[in-house]
Chain A
Amino acid sequence: MLHRVIIRQTGECCACSSDESLLAGLVRLGRRGIPAGCLGGGCGVCKVRVLRGRVRRLGPVSRARVTLDEEARGYTLACRVAPCSELELEVAGRLEKPFFKGFAASAGRVVGK
């Protein structure tokens, strides 16, 4: 089942299936610079904060990358969760910088590096 995923900082949307990771949906935005790292919950580059909606855990998330306190505030790794409903999220951590760099590049129709 497809769910709408809204990125609060840019207002962009992507569709993400409840059978796939949130990161797979974000990658389909087709932007340069979306860091897909280890895909195993260990490296932490795809950190996001879920602001609204429900997600399902696909596997372990490194406690070194998402603390208990952060988890309570909605932080998780996009590679390790799938959407169960419409979602609104913020990109966070190391995903943030390349994400906005890519947004600025595509908004300005500049080929970003």
Chain B
Amino acid sequence: MGVMRIGHASLKVMDMAEAVRHYEKVIGMKTTMQDKQGNVYLKCWDEWDKYSLVLTPSDQAGLNHVAYKVQHDADLDALRQRIEAYGISTTMLPEGTMPATGRMLQFDLPSGHEMRLYATKEFVGTDVGSVNPDPWPDDIKGAGAHWLDHCLLMCELDPETGVNKVAENTRFVMECLDFGLAEQVMVGPDSRIQAATWLYRTTTPHDIAFVGGPRRGLHHISFFLDSWHDVLKSADIMAKNKVRIDVAPTRHGITRGETIYFFDPSGNRNETFAGLGYLTQPDRPVTTWTEDHMGSGIFYHTGELVPSFTEVYT
């Protein structure tokens, strides 16, 4: 079936001890592994593979790569052919390039972000197990995020020069990786410029999102919570830990997510959100937001765009 879901994000952090403290104590992940290069691997309690986040020591913030898991090892060969035929070069990284992880198909999206696909990662099980499980484990810390859910990548968009990496990425992931388009923001004369897109492989509104901006970057990685109350509680945890909150709890019109945005200690934006939105299906009509309603699409209650939300990213 090809791509199943987001598998992990690899983030650059400038202070490893602070970063680990944040992702353990605030997000509620657990460290599962460290390697000789000083990279730290973490997972959420409801995830069954060995890690979903890799922190790498760096002199800057931002995304190294984002990886998606495919169902079968043979999918990697089939997808490689399709991606190469599309005109994008790929590299097959051998098993063990990343610890506990099988071979990985590495390539750059049209926007320049590095993406990797893999089929196998060491199975460790969720914290409640798979036989007669409790609904949640007893040792949840912080927000107690269930899983890494999606990421939003900022892609170069300049209508004056005709550069639109949002549209290019969208076309690529739909044609080569079989993503479906759930929602889009259309701007400009006759609403012809695709300025932002939300795409899915699962049955939820987004597994990846692309938004236009002046330069390539990472807007956020997002973690799933059960309910609106959990979003509120995660805000309490951020206040307790003096975490820089970007957008206090609210709802998105786009995807209907209940959300809070904040920054990790290196300035990488995180989201914890609740609400699976709606059931995405290949025959579901694409939701379109027009430029005059973009504010409501992003923050449904106020309908107002927050400059830092679109201008600040790593």
B132 at the interface (CB under 8 A from A): no
A99 to chain B: closest CB distance in Å? 13
Closest A residue, CB atoms, query B314: A42
Question: Are B263 and A40 in contact (CB-based, < 8 A)?
Answer: yes
Contacts of A59 in B (CB 8 A): 14-15, 265
A59 to chain B: closest CB distance in Å? 7
B212 at the interface (CB under 8 A from A): no
Contacts of A45 in B (CB 8 A): 308, 311-312
Compute how far the CA of A94 lies from the CA of B140 in the bound complex, rounded to whole angstroms: 40
Contacts of B62 in A (CB 8 A): 42, 62, 64
Contacts of B314 in A (CB 8 A): 38, 42-43, 62, 64
Out of B246, B266, B307, B311, name the residue touching A42 (CB < 8 Å). Answer: B266
Question: Are B267 and A42 in contact (CB-based, < 8 A)?
Answer: yes
B116 at the interface (CB under 8 A from A): no
Choose among B61, B264, B265, B308 the residue with the greatest number of A CB atoms under 10 Å from its CB.
Answer: B61
B244 at the interface (CB under 8 A from A): yes
Q: Interface size class for chain B?
A: 20 to 34
Q: A36-56: which have CB < 8 Å to B?
A: 36-43, 45
B313 at the interface (CB under 8 A from A): yes
Given A39-B267, A40-B265, A41-B14, also A62-B312 (CB < 8 A): no
Closest B residue, CB atoms, query A98: B307
Compute how far the CA of A76 lies from the CA of B139 in the bound complex, rounded to whole angstroms: 41
Out of A39, A62, A94, name the residue touching B59 (CB < 8 Å). Answer: A62
Q: B106-154: which have CB < 8 Å to A?
A: none
B269 at the interface (CB under 8 A from A): yes
Compute how far the CA of A60 lies from the CA of B15 in the bound complex, rounded to whole angstroms: 7
Contacts of A39 in B (CB 8 A): 244, 263, 267
Interface residues, chain B, CB within 8 Å of chain A? 14-15, 59-62, 244, 246, 263-269, 307-308, 311-314
What are 20 of the A-B contact pairs (CB < 8 Å)?
A35-B311, A37-B311, A37-B312, A38-B61, A38-B244, A38-B246, A38-B263, A40-B265, A41-B266, A42-B62, A42-B314, A43-B312, A43-B314, A45-B312, A59-B14, A59-B265, A62-B14, A62-B267, A64-B62, A98-B307
Other A-B contacts than A37-B312, A60-B15, 13 sampled, CB-CB below 8 A, are A37-B311, A38-B246, A40-B244, A40-B265, A41-B14, A42-B61, A42-B267, A42-B314, A45-B311, A60-B59, A62-B14, A63-B60, A98-B307
